[in-house]
Amino acid sequence: MGPKLDENKLPPEGAALETKNKAAVLAALTAATEPTPSREYGKGSHSFKILAEVKPDKLRALSWGNRFLDELAKPDP
């Protein structure tokens, strides 16, 4: 990612994030980003920008990637 992301503070690659507590995942994201007064990680303001940079072919290679992309592709109820 960017120069202000400390990937060592994120869960390891392959970690089943869906089994983790939401607060723990958000705490890891906050710890991995270098906040400044105007730029702190915020799920609402950053998650879609991050998601837009995800490469679907790489995501499908992960054990949970197919399920995630299939859920995103479902039409709204």
Residue pLDDT, tens place only, 12-64: 877 777 788 888 888 888 888 776 655 665 666 667 777 788 788 888 888 78
Compute CA distances 64 → 11, 16, 35, 49, 58, whole Å: 15, 8, 29, 20, 11
Domain count, the chain: 1
Identify whether 44 is part of a domain. yes
Q: Is residue 2 part of a domain?
A: no
Q: Does residue 1 form part of some domain? A: no
Instruction: Please report whether residue 65 resides in a domain.
Output: yes
| Within a domain: 68 | yes
Task: Tell me which residue range forms the domain holding 49.
Answer: 7-73
Asked if residue 39 belongs to a domain, the reply is: yes
Q: What pLDDT does residue 33 have? A: 79
- pTM, two decimal places: 0.46
**In this predicted structure, what is the pLDDT of residue 1?**
45
Does residue 16 sit within a domain?
Answer: yes
